[in-house]
Amino acid sequence: MLNLKGKTAAITGASTGIGKTIALKMAENGASIAIIYIGDESLAIDVKKQAEGYGVRAEIYECDIVDFTAVKNICEKIVADFGSVDILVNNAGIIKDNLLLRMSEADFEDVIDVNLKGAFNCIRHFSRSIMRSPSGRIINISSVSGMMGNPGQANYSAAKAGMIGLTKTVAKEFAGKNVCCNAIAPGFIDTAMTASLPQAIKEQAENSIPFKRMGTVDDVANAALFLASDLSSYITGEVIKVDGGLYI
């Protein structure tokens, strides 16, 4: 068990999937949790209740992370509520897959806005609090698609590749304030998103993975927990693949 007691983690896209699991994993290890979500409030409330079951404080905040001013406002509210933010996890993301020749301008822009601009907005506004922390951490959830490309995901791959560049730049700019900024690049992870894929596609994906299976949300959350902890205090600007060897 890693000790995050006394730290506050703000996590985007924290009401479902990978973000939810990261939130609960950090709560289990003692962190207070700011659950940032958009959409179904009941899902966020459920995560809040589960996190509180670990004896920590958890609050929910609805926010469209594409909106620069809205992120500023929610950041100020979270810092006012908790006193500080030590850990930021940029997890929120969407997919709108299509072959490039069929992809609409709107679908390209929407994915870039949420997956990349949203991460910038959150780093931009939370960074002042994080830089005041004795062990500030920024963790960006990228993807192996951003490293190797993927047919039908020009928008998603571009956004996730941009997130890696953003990670490395932030790591260099914030190192003087003892802030570590790293990215996690999941491969095929067993989530609601992948569960909706046709069985033939899932089998094809699993056969392309050396471990011959999809990863779990816990696999990704464990990597995030390590990067949030003091055990990662001399690691910054890195991209940790959690992909079972898919991209070697």
Tell me the one-letter amino acid at 35.
I
Is 1 inside any structural domain?
A: no
Is 229 inside any structural domain?
A: yes
How far is 228 from 89, CA to CA, in rounded Å?
A: 9
Is 248 inside any structural domain?
A: no
Assigned token pair, 41: 């409030």
DSSP 58: E
Is 186 inside any structural domain?
A: yes
Is 232 inside any structural domain?
A: yes
Total domains present in the chain: 1
- pTM for the model stands at 0.96
Is 246 inside any structural domain?
A: no
Is 215 inside any structural domain?
A: yes
Give the other-Cβ count within 10 Å of 29's Cβ. 19
The answer to whether 28 touches 229, Cβ cutoff 8 Å, is no
What residues are annotated to the active site?
156
List pLDDT tens digits, range 17-31: 999 999 999 999 999
List pLDDT tens digits, range 95-120: 999 999 999 999 999 999 999 999 99
Residue 109's domain is classified under what CATH number?
3.40.50.720
Domain that holds residue 174: 8-241
Confidence of residue 228 (pLDDT cuts 50, 70, 90): very high
Is 16 inside any structural domain?
A: yes
How far is 72 from 25, CA to CA, in rounded Å?
A: 26
